[in-house]
Structures are given as C-alpha cells and as structure tokens.
C-alpha cells in the first residue's frame, strides 16, 4: 500500500463498535456509532462500521445482505449511502437475545471474552480481507480494546505498517476484566500479561487497559471527563496513572443526531414545535400524561428521566428524597431498565404516588421521544457521566435539564441561576441528595416564572449539539495520529 496522504485522498476509517443504532443498542455508544460515522462521511471520509450481527437484528428489515463479503462479513445493501455497515456473523457467539447481558439471567454472558476477542480478531481479518486498507481503525470501549494490540503485533506486515489506531473511551467504568485464562485465549495478548504489564490489571486480564496502552491515540467524549479520568482514581476506576503516563487525553464532545431528535419534525410526537411555537409542547405534555396514566396539570412541571438503571446514573441520590420530590408541585416520569433492585424500588414507589409518579420499566425508543418533548424538566444526577446524550436531547426539546456538574453534563449545561443571561438548565456539584434537592427546588420554582422560563428554554433550544464541529475535530485527530509515530510497547 502506498503511504497514505490524507491531504489528497479521503481518509479511510474502520469504525469498530459493539453496538450501533438502529441495529443494536444498550446506550449512548450505539447513537454515537451511527451518528459520528455519518458525520465523518459528510466530511469526506470513507467510513466503514464493523459490529456484531446479534440474533435480534432483523436482516430483512435492514436489507442486510447475506452474501458474504469475505468469510463471515455481511453488510447493508450495496445501495446504502456512506457509511457502510458491516456485520460480523458468528452465530454461536452473537445469535443471542442480548448484547452483553443475558436477559433471562440478568448476568453478563459468561463467554463475553470469547465474543469480543472474536470481534477484535474480525476487525483485523476485515482489514486484510476487504482489500480496503484503512488509514485509521477507530476503536470504542473495552469490547474493541484488543484491536490496537493486534495491530501493534501486525506491524511487521508491510501492508499494515501505516495503519494507526484511535481508542475512544466512552465509559472507563466498564473495563472488560476476565480471568488470566482469557489472556491465553486472546493469542498475542498473553505475552503482555504479567504483573503491572499492559494487559494486566489487579490480576485480571483487562481489555480496556490493552486499548489504553496499545492505541496510537486516545481520546474521550468530553473535556471535563478527560480531566476527571486523568486526575481521579475514583472516576477512572483506578486507571488514572495509566492515562497520565500516556500524556494529555483530549475530550471531543459528542453530538446528537439532530435529524432524529428534532422537535420540529419528530414523527413520534402528536404535536411538533420549535422555539417560536412552544405552546404546542403543551399538547405533547398532555399526551405524555395520558399515555402513562398521570393526571395532566398545566401548572406543575413534569420531570422526566430516561436512563439505564445503573449506579452511574445517580439513582442513589433520588431514592432517599423521592417523597420530598413528589411533595413539591411536580410529577415524575421514569423510563428505564437495568438493575432489578432499582426496577422494583421505583415500580413499588409508583403504587404509593399514583398521581405523582409513573414508571415504565423497559426500553422504548418511541416513548423516549414523547418524554423528551412532553416533560418540562429532565433529571440526570449522575455520579459520573463521560458525555451523556439525554441532557442534549432535552435541551433541543425545550425540556430543561437538572444535572450534576460532572463530565459532559458540566460541559453542556449552564446553570440558569449562576448564568442569568445564558443559562440552559440547572446544575449542582456535591454528590448528595441535599445538593440535588436544592437544584430540583430551584428548577421547580423557575417553572412558575413564565417569562424567565421561556427565556431559559429558548437558550437551551438555541444550543448547537449537531455533530458538525466534533466530526471536524475527529478528522483533525485522525490526521495528527497518522502523522505521528506508532506506539511501540516492548
Ligand atoms: P449511557 O450511554 O451511559 O446509557 P447516554 O446519555 O450517552 O448514556 O445515552 C443513553 C441513550 O440511551 C440515549 O439515546 C437514551 O435516550 C437511550 N435510553 C436509555 N434508556 C432508555 C430506555 N429505557 N428507553 C429508550 N431509550 C433509552
Ligand atoms: C457511555 C457514557 C455516556 C456517553 C456514551 C457515548 O455510555 O456513559 O455518558 O454519552 O458512552 O459516548
């Protein structure tokens, strides 16, 4: 292969991810894996996305070609515009109803190491087999952590010498830790498995650490989270020293898909609106209340929550003061699934407050649009948040976020009391129920100050959360990665 000259030819990017919307999704990574490649393609990149073909993906609906491109890869139809999606077919590993977790037992699949070793191996196979050599292999989270290692081990091959890897940290809390035997299964990884070595972490084999150590470049999804994971052992889950040793980690803020999340043209809404027609939002609030069985009351705010029910999201702050929140003039709507304990806790609480609290356990994309549009406030008191998408979606729908100022939440929400002119929501610092309550009270109070409320809504709706800017920053990062020396680990 000739040496890439990204100034003159399109950058070829292989984007490897364990989930991609609308095919598969457990959280924000899936949104990003769809929207960022599309934005990169719009910047002129030649992007291919590689992800597993899970059992629940409807091949027919998506026109996924069962004609194999090479061995085990299939892709969306040849007519599909850039970027192209390729799927790794491997039925014993991926033809299952869950992405990471077995829905029947609520536990991680016990062979997740095999499954994602297979994805990483497949990425290498793809590069060799597709007769399309990428300039950059863009890896995302622990499931793809071995790709940079395999690439490092393949540098002896002339055809792969110029390929560089970027590893994006979407959530450092998920580390892909497995017993030492996984290092043997992972082939070349085993030689780096020794105490404090590049794939060993507290006696375990860590897919994430492999990615952090071997990638030619690293970044994460917001500037504040970048600083937090480099300085806090708690937020980095013990990997801060590894990150510091690699030098400064950049944070490129995620965007949202502004075509899918557009209050002025959202097919899931009974009434569409923009910042000039906010009265129509009231129709969506009415529909939301009717749909979830809450009495509609124009004069009190509905607070929405859409979330994985996981420790990260701060439910431990909400649980002890739930009664206090519901004693305010406010109603709460929660859509989420995950931790069975939290599912039970909120379902039972809803029985005690039928007029104030409505809970829907499950995953429901359509209903999530109605919550974004119909709610007045959106609560996201995360313990940590690499970026967070729901606060941005909320702002676009004039639904004011109440957030803990951490990670991407700190970078995207301006507190309306500290920033009277430019405020877009409400935020608090201390990770305590009291600090959260104080912010919730301020938000609920502001709801009654009509002209001020409208002003904050308009500020929020005027924010630009599209991918345009961030996609350009990824292109710059790819270019910098290509022009620097590859990472070498002895
Ligand atoms: P995370 O990736 O940590 O879960 P993000 O805010 O980045 O957090 O992304 C979460 C994504 O998943 C958003 O698109 C959100 O709307 C969606 N989501 C989470 N839970 C649900 C649910 N129960 N139903 C529908 N969408 C959900
Ligand atoms: C992770 C993070 C979330 C981020 C998403 C996409 O799931 O928890 O904050 O928005 O990845 O980068």
- pLDDT tens digits, residue range 426-481? 999 999 999 999 999 999 999 999 999 999 999 999 999 999 999 999 999 999 99
Give the C-alpha distances (Å, rounded to integers) separating 166 from 57, 147, 213, 232, 305: 27, 10, 11, 23, 33
Q: Which CATH number fits domain 12-255+468-483: 3.40.50.300, 3.30.420.40, 3.40.50.2000, 3.40.50.2300?
A: 3.40.50.2000
Tell me the best of 306, 381, 465 to mutate to test the pocket of ligand 1, counting ligand atoms within 8 Å of each CB and taking the most: 306
- pLDDT tens digits, residue range 340-391? 999 999 999 999 999 999 999 999 999 999 999 999 999 999 999 999 999 9
Q: Dihedral, CA atoms, 426, 392, 176, 125, nearest 10 degrees? A: -170
Please name which ligand lies nearest the alpha carbon of 470: 2
Q: What is the mean pLDDT of the chain?
A: 94
13 lines ligand 2 (CB under 6 A): no
27 lines ligand 2 (CB under 6 A): yes
- On whether the CB atoms of residues 215 and 165 are closer than 8 A, the answer is yes
pLDDT at 7: 58
What residue segments make up the domains of the chain, in order of their start?
Answer: 12-255+468-483, 278-464
Whether the per-residue pLDDT at 78 is higher than 50: the answer is no
Q: Which ranges constitute the DSSP H helices of 197-297?
A: 207-214, 223-231, 240-245, 281-292
Is there a common fold for 12-255+468-483 and 278-464?
yes
Average pLDDT over residues 94-107: 95
Q: Which atom of ligand 2 is nearest to the CA of 385?
A: 9
pLDDT at 23: 94
Closest protein CA for atom 5 of ligand 2: 28
Q: Which fold has domain 278-464?
A: Rossmann fold (3.40.50)
Distance in angstroms (rounded) separating the CA atoms of residues 134 and 123: 11
- pLDDT tens digits, residue range 152-210? 999 988 889 999 999 999 999 999 999 999 999 999 999 999 999 999 999 999 999 99
Closest protein CA for atom 4 of ligand 1: 27
Closest protein CA for atom 20 of ligand 1: 307
- pLDDT tens digits, residue range 210-238? 999 999 999 999 999 999 999 999 999 99
Whether the per-residue pLDDT at 72 is higher than 90: the answer is no
Q: What percent of the chain has pLDDT over 70?
A: 95
Element housing 365 (H / E): helix 365-374
Average pLDDT over residues 70-97: 71
Confidence of residue 65 (pLDDT cuts 50, 70, 90): confident
**Distance from residue 328's CA to the centre of ligand 2 (Å):** 31
Least Cα distance to 259 among 473, 466, 460, 19 occurs for 466
Q: Which atom of ligand 2 is nearest to the CA of 225?
A: 9
Give the C-alpha distances (Å, rounded to integers) separating 439 from 380, 402, 415, 429: 11, 7, 9, 10
Q: What percent of the chain has pLDDT over 90?
A: 90
3-state helix, strand, coil in the chain (%, to 5): 40, 20, 40
Please name which ligand lies nearest the alpha carbon of 219: 2
**Distance from residue 33's CA to the centre of ligand 2 (Å):** 11
387 lines ligand 2 (CB under 6 A): yes
170 lines ligand 2 (CB under 6 A): yes
Q: Which atom of ligand 2 is nearest to the CA of 29?
A: 6
Confidence of residue 69 (pLDDT cuts 50, 70, 90): very low
Average pLDDT over residues 306-334: 97
- pLDDT tens digits, residue range 247-306? 999 999 999 999 999 999 999 999 999 999 999 999 999 999 999 999 999 999 999 999
């Amino acid at each position: 292969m000739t040496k890439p000259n990204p100034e003159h030819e399109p950058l070829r990017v292989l984007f490897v991810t364990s989930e991609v919307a609308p095919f598969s999704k457990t959280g924000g990574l899936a949104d990003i894996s769809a929207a960022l490649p599309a934005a990169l393609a719009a910047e002129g990149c030649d992007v291919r996305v590689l992800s597993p073909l899970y059992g629940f993906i409807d091949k027919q609906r998506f026109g996924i070609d069962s004609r194999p491109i090479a061995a085990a890869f299939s892709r969306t139809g040849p007519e599909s515009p850039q970027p192209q999606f390729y799927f790794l077919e491997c039925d014993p590993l991926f033809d299952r109803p869950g992405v990471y977790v077995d829905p029947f037992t609520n536990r991680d699949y016990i062979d997740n190491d095999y499954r994602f070793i297979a994805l990483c191996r497949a990425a290498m196979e793809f590069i060799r087999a597709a007769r399309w050599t990428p300039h950059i292999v863009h890896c995302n989270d622990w499931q793809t952590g071995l790709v940079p290692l395999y690439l490092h081990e393949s540098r002896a091959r002339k055809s792969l010498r110029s390929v560089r890897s970027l590893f994006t940290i979407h959530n450092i809390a998920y580390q892909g830790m497995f017993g030492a035997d996984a290092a043997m299964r992972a082939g070349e990884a085993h030689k780096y498995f020794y105490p404090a070595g590049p794939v060993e972490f507290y006696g375990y084999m860590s897919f994430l650490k492999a990615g952090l150590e071997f990638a030619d470049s690293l970044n994460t999804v917001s500037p504040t989270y970048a600083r937090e994971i480099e300085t806090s052992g708690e937020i980095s889950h013990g990997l801060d020293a590894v990150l510091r040793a690699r030098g400064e980690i950049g944070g490129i803020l995620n965007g949202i898909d502004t075509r899918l999340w557009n209050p002025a043209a959202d097919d899931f809404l009974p009434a569409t609106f923009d910042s000039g027609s906010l009265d129509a939002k009231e129709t969506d609030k009415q529909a939301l209340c009717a749909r979830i069985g809450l009495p509609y009351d124009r004069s009190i705010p509905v607070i929405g929550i859409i979330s994985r029910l996981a420790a990260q999201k701060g439910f431990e702050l909400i649980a002890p003061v739930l009664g206090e929140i519901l004693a305010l003039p406010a109603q709460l709507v929660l859509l989420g699934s995950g931790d069975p304990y939290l599912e039970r806790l909120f379902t039972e609480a809803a029985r005690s407050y039928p007029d104030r609290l409505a809970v829907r356990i499950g995953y429901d994309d359509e209903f999530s649009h109605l919550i974004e549009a119909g709610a007045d406030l959106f609560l996201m008191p995360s313990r940590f948040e690499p970026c967070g998408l729901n606060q941005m979606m909320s702002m676009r729908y004039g639904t004011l976020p109440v957030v803990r100022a951490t990670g991407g939440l700190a970078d995207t929400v301006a507190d309306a009391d500290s920033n009277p002119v430019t405020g877009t929501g409400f935020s608090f610092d201390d990770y305590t129920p009291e600090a959260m309550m104080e912010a919730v009270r301020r938000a609920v109070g502001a709801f009654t100050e009509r002209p001020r409320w409208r002003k904050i809504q308009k500020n929020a709706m005027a924010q630009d959360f599209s991918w345009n800017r961030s996609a350009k920053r990824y292109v710059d990062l790819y270019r910098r990665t290509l022009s620097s020396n590859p990472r070498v680990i002895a």
